[in-house]
Chain A
Amino acid sequence: MNCIIIDDELTARTIINKLSSNVPDINVVEEFPNAIQAIKYLNQNTVDLIFLDIHMPDFTGFDFIQTLKNPPKIILTTSDANFAIQAFEYDCIVDYLVKPITQERFNKALDKAKSATFTSKATTNPTEEDSGVNDLYVNIDRRLIKIDIPSIYLVEAKGDYIHIKTETKNYTVHSTLKKIHDKLPDSLFLKIHRSYIINVDKIIDIEDNSVLIKKDVIPVSRSNRPELMKRLNLL
C-alpha cells in the first residue's frame, strides 16, 4: 500500500514514518509539510492512502480533502479529538488517530484502511429523518458522547464551536451550526438566527423578535421570522 504523509510538523512525520516502517505492507513514498505540495504531487501520482493532519496553517486537512476529485483512503492524524465528528462526514476517511499515536492504534487504523470500501455519500449517509435516528454523537475530549436529539432545545454558534443545550446537560463541540443543522430533523428544529437553532417544540413564548425557550431568550432574525410563524399552530 503506497502512502503519503501530510503534516506541517516534522516531529509528527518522523513518528508516522517510524510507525509505518514497522508494518510490512506499507510504503511511505513521500511526505509533505503542507497540503499545497501534496496536491501538486497528487496531480502527477496516485497513492492508496494518505496520513493527513487536520490542523495545518492556511490550508487545513479538510480543505485539502475537498480539492480531491477521487480521494484515496485517508487516515486523519490530529492532536484534537474534537474534529472526529467532522471526519465522519467524509466517506474517504477510514480512521482518525489522535496524537501521540501508538503502534497498536496505528496498526488498527491500517487494518481498517485495508478492509475499507467506501461508496458515495448519498448511499451511505442518510439523513436522520430518513433513517429514524434519534441520537447524535459528538466528540468531546476523545469520547463520543451520545445526545438524545429530541432533548436538545437550543444550539448556539460561538466562533469555531457550538454550544448544544439539552434538558439535562450542555455540551461544547468543535463544529459549525450548518453541520449540526444538517444532522437534526427539520420537523423539530429551525434556524431562527445565524447563530441559533431551536427545537420548536420547546418554545415557551414569542415576543416581537425573540423567542423564550427554557430560560434563554433568543433573537429571531427578520429573514427567519416568516418560517418560524409558519411552523406555529396559531389560533
Chain B
Amino acid sequence: MEQPNLSYINTLSGGDKEFEAQLLDVVKKEFPTEKETYYKNLNNENYKLAAENVHKLKHKISILGLSKSYDIAINYENNLLDHNTDLKEEFDNILIVITNYLDNL
C-alpha cells in the first residue's frame, strides 16, 4: 500500500521548519474532523455530502504525496455522486494509512 510522505510539504516550506510544523498541526487538527464527518454522512446514506467530504479529504491525500490514493479518491467521489459505494473499502484503507501516519509524526 502506498505510504504518505512529506515531499510536497518539504518543497513548499523551502526548509522553513516552523512552517512545516505549523502546516502539519493544521492537517492533524482538520483531518480527524473531516474523516468523522465523512463517516457520519456515509452511514446516514447522505452520499452527496459524503462526496463533498471525500472532495475535501482529497487535498490532504495529495498534500501527503499519495498520488495513487488521490486517483482512487477522485473515482470514489464520482461514485458517491451516483449513490454508488464502490471503492469504499479502498478509500477507507487510505484513511487508515493517513491516520496511522499522522499519529506517528
A interface residues with partner B (beta carbon < 8 Å): 8-12, 14-15, 18-19, 22, 55, 57, 79-80, 99-100, 102-103, 141, 159-161
Q: How many Å lie between the Cα of A15 and that of B59 in the bound state?
A: 11
Nearest-Cβ distance from residue B4 to partner chain A, whole angstroms: 13
Neighbour of B59 across the interface among A79, A141, A159, A160, CB < 8 A: A79
Neighbour of B55 across the interface among A10, A12, A79, A100, CB < 8 A: A79
**Chain B facing A: main interface SS:** helix
Give the A-B contact count at a CB cut-off of 8 A.
Answer: 54
Q: Does B42 contact A (CB under 8 A)?
A: no
Q: How many Å lie between the Cα of A15 and that of B23 in the bound state?
A: 8
**Chain A facing B: main interface SS:** loop
Q: Does B92 contact A (CB under 8 A)?
A: no
Asked if A18 and B58 make an inter-chain contact with CB atoms under 8 angstroms apart, the answer reads no
Asked if A100 and B63 make an inter-chain contact with CB atoms under 8 angstroms apart, the answer reads yes
Q: Does B79 contact A (CB under 8 A)?
A: no
Chain B residues closer than 8 Å to A10, beta-carbon distance: 26, 29-30
Chain A residues closer than 8 Å to B29, beta-carbon distance: 10
Asked if A103 and B12 make an inter-chain contact with CB atoms under 8 angstroms apart, the answer reads yes
Chain A residues closer than 8 Å to B13, beta-carbon distance: 18
The residue in chain A whose Cβ has the minimal distance to the Cβ of B63 is: A100
Q: How many Å lie between the Cα of A99 and that of B70 in the bound state?
A: 11
Q: How many Å lie between the Cα of A79 and that of B54 in the bound state?
A: 10
Asked if A159 and B81 make an inter-chain contact with CB atoms under 8 angstroms apart, the answer reads yes
